[in-house]
Amino acid sequence: MLQAMTATSPASCAKGIDPERLRVFADLCAKHIDGDEKSEAQIFLEHLF
């Protein structure tokens, strides 16, 4: 899936999306986002208030 998002295509370049920056963003998301952020935020807010 990430390969499809990072492929250089004329459509993405025409819209001003830099394919290299998109690849870096996709790599960052794959590395740091695990899908549990919503529940982690909920627990943080419960403890805060």
Whole-angstrom Cα distance, residue 26 to residue 20?
10
Q: Are 22 and 5 in contact (CB under 8 A)?
A: yes
Query: Would you state the pLDDT for residue 2?
Result: 54
* pLDDT, tens only, 16-44: 889 999 999 999 999 988 888 888 999 99
DSSP label of 7 = S
The more confidently predicted of residues 10 and 39 is: 39
| pLDDT score recorded for residue 22 | 92
pLDDT (0 to 100) of residue 26:
93
* Greatest distance between any 2 Cα atoms in the chain: 49
Instruction: Please determine, for residue 10, whether its predicted confidence score (pLDDT) is greater than 70.
Output: no
In Å, how far are 15, 42, 43, 44 from 25, measured between CA atoms? 17, 25, 27, 26
Look up the pTM and report it. Answer: 0.48
